[in-house]
Chain A
Amino acid sequence: MKVNEKIAIEHGLKKEEFDKINKLLKRLPNITELGIFSAMWNEHCSYKSSRLHLKKMHTKGKRVIQGPGENAGVIDIDDEDAIVFKIESHNHPSFIEPYQGAATGVGGIMRDVFTMGARPIANINSIHFGSPQHKKTKNLLRGVVHGIGGYGNCIGVPTIAGQTCFDESYNGNILVNAMTLGLVNKNKIFYSKAAGIGKPVIYVGSKTGRDGIHGASMASAIFDEKIEEKKPTVQVGDPFTEKLLLEACLELMSDKSIISIQDMGAAGLTSSSVEMASKGKLGIELNLNKVPCREEKMTPYEIMLSESQERMLIVLENGKEEKAKKIFDKWNLDFAIIGKTTDSKKIEIFYDEKKVVDIPINFLAENAPIYDRKWKKTKLPQKIKFNVDDVKKLKITEVLKKILANPNISDKEWVWQQYDHTVMGDTIQKPGGDSGVVRVHGTNKAVATSVDSSAMYCCAHPLTGGKQIVCENWRNLISVGAKPIAITNCLNFGNPEKEINMGEFVECVQGIAEASKYLDYPVVSGNVSFYNETKDKGIKPTPSIGGVGLIKNYKKMVTMDLKEVNNLVIVVGKTEGHLDQSIFARNILSEKNGPPPEINLFNEKNNGETILKLIEEGLIESAHDVSLGGIITALTKMCIRGKKGIKLNKLKTLINKFQYFFAEDQGRYIIEINKNNIKKVKEILNNNSVHYDELAIVIEKDIIIDKEPILTIDELMIANKKWLKEYMVQ
């Protein structure tokens, strides 16, 4: 088949891009070469719209061993230990086929982590669905949850945290972001950079089939009503094979046989071979007749673009082939020497003894297009003047019950009970708290992790929203007593060719960069998912931030459940009464405009570090950050978890009580303190100039707010727990 412009456009390339390919090659590419270019130059692999802006990210820090650009980021957690972690999106495939889409998302991110020599120790995820009333939502939710569980449970890696959100902007584009943390000895990290000439290139894992051909291009396309036809481009996961691949790779990694290793993810054999060669400034030669194939008569085009799962590409030291093969034989996995590294700086591919591909590596990598796309700034919306009379008619207790039952606040036990969260025997904080926490096996250390997004805030004002998520994520780690170390981000946005969407991206990135720099909370890995758009309707800008923190002595970990009657409860951080964009404003007052709460990075850092100090001194019994739904929502969640009641003090504030209880001002925490420690705690807060209000006292089982009717914990628990369970069985 002779390649022409029409075929190139069908491959997702623009006319100008096709012209550029012809110019670089000084000839027309053949169909296999065109396939390779289209895979390497699409948004998903090339980051062509985002790369310019991603450079602004803060990526360095004392504990950063490896920042962005590798399979995953790596941070130092003292001694010989390091944590490898990354988050990745699998949005498009999950919408088309929720079970397999989500499952292979989890499989893919785990491979990114164990490719670097790390044993995965925790999975977490952030999933966003359309309005609960939308006809597709329930099945998508069920499918995605089954898929995440189906894969992670089988591999035997605990899923310890996550978030599940609903908003109509995801009706036609759900988000499935999966993150994995792995533990590695910091002197035994493996990288994807190839080195040395004439080294054998090894293919291991599953056989190559016709599944997922052009998955990466699909992930960079906009959806329309024909999307169901794309089902064959969704890969099918096999967690059992991945488990074997994990064990086999770690076994091979126990000595020095491997020079470089790369998993075959998006764009399969194409991107893995090109990336290895590109990073090592080498050439690579492949013989496709040697590739283990599942189906007969696969063409070079299909072999190079297949996204069959559970495959790895390895560059081995010469002479280690036999030993490596033995390991893969033991685990019953395919092992084939399919090529070698060369000094040609080209990718040269042979099939049936004919050369079918001959492309200089730099055409595919460095020469890939970069776009400085036009973008539009979002103005800070005007503050809303809330009508005091409207608010006065409401009862706090009634509003509270409604908020607790809101799909975005309600308890997500139905979701996480389907994930094995205790396998590996080190989970010391399960899903449902501020962060999931696992011990570092065999040590006194633990790592905490949380993933967060705030699409409402990001949509109202992307710059503030970007900062806010980083801060919220940081607070979630602080709340369990972990020192936040670094983050990974998954940037889910609409169509970058539209100025408004591109603007949302640019400003969210700027916000993330500012906050992460100020908090010394660097970005070490991540991915970008554009074109989350169906029939011209894009999603709200939804960057999700996955953070990792270190607890030096896991016995000092804090949880959010209230512990003991007569303890005092304090709000740390100032409550100004910011209601705009809050759950209260949006869902109770139906006011969807206004700016998100302001971020004060100085206070954020100071409050957070002071809380850590208090935890370090053993002065805090329980802690929870204040986020969606404000103080009263956060406090009731602590009550529900601890099965304890609370009596609120009379408010000593100038703002009205709705503002006080439901405002979503940032930088705040609720902490429970034993009476004997109160003096010491106040001293530390005062010495660090941290604002605090004495809020309440822990009692047996009622919630007593001012003159409002008394609520029981059971009532609130039902309000909080029943929505999702009932929704799923309706």
Chain B
Amino acid sequence: MSVDLTPTTDDTSPEQVKAIGEQLHAAISQAVVGQADVIQQTLVALLAGGHVLLEGVPGLGKTLLVRSLAQTLQLRFSRIQFTPDLMPADCTGTNIIGEDELGGRTFRFQPGPLFANLVLADEINRATPKTQSALLEAMQEHTITVGQSTRELPQPFFVLATQNPLEMEGTYPLPEAQLDRFFFKVLVPFPDAGVLHGILQRTIQPPDALSVVTDGPHLLALRAVARTVPVASNVADYAVALILATHPANARNGSLVRRYVRAGVSPRGLQALVTGAQVRALLDGRFNASTDDIRDLALPALRHRLLLNFEALAEGVSTDAVITETIETLGNP
């Protein structure tokens, strides 16, 4: 597979965000059939500078999506296959003994797969919590500390993790602290018949190589532009009200929150909502975040940050249902 390394325009105007987004979407869609919402949400998280947790049954193209994304963005891509015996150093890197120029033995840091722009943490829930926690600093701080040295990760740095909702035996659910560091949790649905036909078509006739849309620096610039998108006070108020409504003690919450939620959404969820709304507005061709953006991004931004109690687990109440009811309870801003 060839990669077109022709750099894209250096235009960082706000209108360019939409263009880049459409190009990326089109490029990825060449490889990943269907899943338009998944691609869109991933792009939003990408442009917002966040990490994405993709959850879906095996074979839906989660890894393909990340690979395709890496190809179109001309970013250094690495993959970490999480297994139960994976060690933290396998992710972060470690000091190894090596020879210097003089032939002497010294410790040399061997970077791990995290030292990439786009890291695919495949089946992240299979690794032990110790290994999972190795990603905490990298995802939040974009640094890795090994020994006494803290090393910066390359920018842009994205972690796209995948996990299988089935086969929970032998897996280690991500702790809340780590879940909270993912910008979005995107559910990859099973494709319908039309999509399956498309997959089949691409299997028989693989598509051409994906074209490079942009590069990392441009992506960073566009990210900065996205952060300047104006957010009106009513939009911010709505986002705050939505976050507060996920807490059981709040007066404006719905009945499901009061009954099934153990802990509400953290402030990171609010940040994810608003920054995601900014990016989504630009991708939509608008230059302001709206309450519609907040509503549309509520599920991917909040579903993994809401802690349900045992009763919810026993009754099979999902976080999506709770968030949906919360949005309906709040009504129109």
A binds B: no
Q: Which residues of B contact A (CB under 8 A)?
A: none
